[in-house]
């Protein structure tokens, strides 16, 4: 087996979709197996422990002691660690629950559910709920990041083949707009339209039509299936580097600025609307300090304003 790239994969707290995403390389998986030797992999192999490896793919965020221990073991065993999928990179969708306290969550699930009748809250044998989600690089050093929910097979294939041939993967920093075929045009649209209203024009940019679309502020790790099939981007691969790294840039201000130029909708109206829908728009990345730590990011306030109505 010498000459082949040795690969370990591991999943932490995750829906499992990233590993299905790897299996969804379909026929190409045979090409990959020509230059990659799969060692530990929770879906396909029965390799125990953490054998020494060249590449380690970790999917999912850190939620508990098991996740922490597994991440550390992978770090020790693997030369290069890839944080794979939006959960590993930014905490992912479950991060949206950071907006709520543990008590609120338990109260909703066990006391306020319409079909639940009980006086018992889980207390013995189970651990106290931890902070909902921690991105991988807060626990171990990460070498490469591949976000996406899950990343498209084309990116997975390129990353594995590139690493097998000793070249860096094409770390493209294009946005979801790159593969979108809609045309950005100036319009007289004067009001925001909720995503569910009307049937969007299939040829025209959503922003031009007054729909909030996160395509222009989201990293392309998907090849744009949403705008291609008539659905505005919801940002599942996480924000672009520009937004992550520049303190004065943000999802809502960037989208508002574009919509202001394209339509007759005032930027302030877009910012207010996106703050009111903050849990939706920021869900995938609010667990990362690069978003959640911005001083202007007042998620709990925005949510309590909405829920108080």
Partner 1 sequence: MATIRIDPVTRIEGHARVILEMKDDGTVEYARLIVNELRGFERMLVGMEADRMPLVTARICGVCPVTHTLAAIQALEDAFRVAPPPAGKILRELLCMGQLVHSHALHLFALGGPDLFFGISGDPARRSIVGMVEAAPELAKKALRLRTLGQKVVEAVGGRGVHPVTVVIGGISFDLAADALASLRKQADEMLALARELVPLARDLLLRLVEREPNLLKLEVRAHDLGMVRGGKVSHLDGALRLVSPDGKVAEEFPAREYADRLVERSYAWSYMKPVFFKLGGKDALYRVGALARVNAADGMETPLAQAELEAFRKAHPAPCHLTIMHHWARIIELLWACEKAKLLLGDPALSGPARVPVQITAGRGVGCVEAPRGTLIHEYEVDAKGIVRAANLLVATQQNYAAINQSIEQAAQSYVAGKGDQAVLNALEFAIRCHDPCLSCATHALGQMPLEVEVRREGTLVRRFGREA
Q: Compare residues 231 and 267 and give the one whose CB is closer to partner 1.
A: 231
Residue 293 CB, shortest distance to partner 1, in Å, is 20
Among positions 51, 52, 79, 105, the unique one binding partner 1 when judged by CB under 8 A: 105
Cα separation, 23 vs 41, whole angstroms: 11
Structure tokens at 239: 């924000």
Structure tokens at 63: 């939620």
Counting contacts by CB under 8 A, is residue 1 touching partner 1? no
Give residues with Cβ within 8 angstroms of 155, minimum separation 6: 146, 148, 169, 221
Among positions 4, 193, 204, 228, the unique one binding partner 1 when judged by CB under 8 A: 228
Judged by CB under 8 A, the stretch of 160-168, 226-234, 260-268, 285-293 that binds partner 1 is: 226-234
Judged by CB under 8 A, the stretch of 122-130, 160-168, 238-246, 257-265 that binds partner 1 is: 122-130
What are 134's strand-pairing partners? 62
Counting contacts by CB under 8 A, is residue 241 touching partner 1? no
Residue 93 CB, shortest distance to partner 1, in Å, is 5
Residues 10-29 interacting with partner 1 (rule: CB under 8 A): 11-21, 23-24, 26-27
Counting contacts by CB under 8 A, is residue 123 touching partner 1? yes
Judged by CB under 8 A, the stretch of 42-50, 157-165, 245-253, 260-268 that binds partner 1 is: 42-50
Counting contacts by CB under 8 A, is residue 181 touching partner 1? no
Counting contacts by CB under 8 A, is residue 248 touching partner 1? no
Residue 165 CB, shortest distance to partner 1, in Å, is 25
> Measuring CA to CA, how many Å separate 149 from each of 72, 76, 84, 86?
23, 26, 9, 6
How many angstroms from the chain centroid is the CA of residue 300? 20
Give residues with Cβ within 8 angstroms of 38, minimum separation 6: 7, 9, 44, 45
Residues 265-294 interacting with partner 1 (rule: CB under 8 A): 277, 279-280, 283
HSE-up of 274 (CA within 13 Å, CB side)? 26
Residues 133-172 interacting with partner 1 (rule: CB under 8 A): 149-150, 152
Cα separation, 133 vs 285, whole angstroms: 11
Among positions 51, 52, 79, 104, the unique one binding partner 1 when judged by CB under 8 A: 104
- Residue showing tokens 């907006």: 99
Cα separation, 208 vs 180, whole angstroms: 14
Q: Compare residues 112 and 167 and give the one whose CB is closer to partner 1.
A: 112
Counting contacts by CB under 8 A, is residue 187 touching partner 1? no
Structure tokens at 291: 């978003």
Counting contacts by CB under 8 A, is residue 63 touching partner 1? yes
Q: Compare residues 256 and 278 and give the one whose CB is closer to partner 1.
A: 278
Residue 167 CB, shortest distance to partner 1, in Å, is 27
Cα separation, 257 vs 265, whole angstroms: 10
Helix (H) or strand (E) holding 255: helix 251-262
Residue 219 CB, shortest distance to partner 1, in Å, is 16
Among positions 51, 79, 122, 300, the unique one binding partner 1 when judged by CB under 8 A: 122
Cα separation, 93 vs 283, whole angstroms: 5
């Amino acid at each position: 087996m010498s000459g082949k790239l040795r690969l370990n994969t591991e999943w932490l707290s995750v829906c499992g979709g990233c590993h299905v995403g790897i299996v969804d390389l379909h026929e190409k998986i045979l090409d990959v197996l020509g230059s990659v030797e799969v060692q530990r992999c929770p879906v396909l192999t029965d390799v125990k422990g953490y054998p020494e490896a060249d590449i380690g793919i970790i999917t999912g965020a850190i939620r508990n002691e098991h996740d922490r221990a597994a991440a550390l073991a992978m770090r020790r065993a693997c030369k290069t660690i890839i944080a794979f999928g939006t959960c590993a990179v930014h905490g992912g969708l479950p991060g949206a629950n950071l907006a709520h306290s543990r008590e609120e969550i338990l109260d909703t699930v066990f006391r306020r559910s319409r079909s639940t009748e009980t006086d018992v809250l889980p207390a013995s044998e189970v651990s106290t709920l931890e902070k909902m989600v921690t991105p991988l690089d807060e626990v171990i050093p990460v070498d490469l990041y591949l976000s996406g929910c899950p990343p498209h097979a084309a990116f997975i294939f390129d990353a594995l083949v590139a690493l097998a041939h000793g070249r860096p993967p094409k770390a493209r920093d294009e946005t979801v707009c790159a593969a979108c075929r809609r045309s950005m045009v100036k319009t007289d649209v004067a009001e925001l339209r909720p995503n569910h209203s009307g049937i969007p024009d299939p040829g025209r940019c959503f922003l031009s039509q007054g729909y909030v679309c996160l395509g222009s502020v989201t990293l392309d790790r998907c090849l744009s299936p949403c705008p291609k099939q008539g659905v505005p981007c919801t940002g599942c691969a996480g924000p672009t580097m520009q937004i992550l790294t520049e303190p004065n840039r943000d999802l809502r201000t960037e989208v508002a600025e574009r919509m202001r130029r394209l339509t007759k909708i005032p930027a302030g109206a877009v910012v207010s609307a996106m703050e009111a829908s903050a849990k939706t728009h920021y869900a995938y990345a609010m667990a990362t300090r690069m978003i959640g730590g911005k001083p202007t990011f007042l998620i709990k306030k925005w949510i309590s304003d909405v829920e108080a109505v």
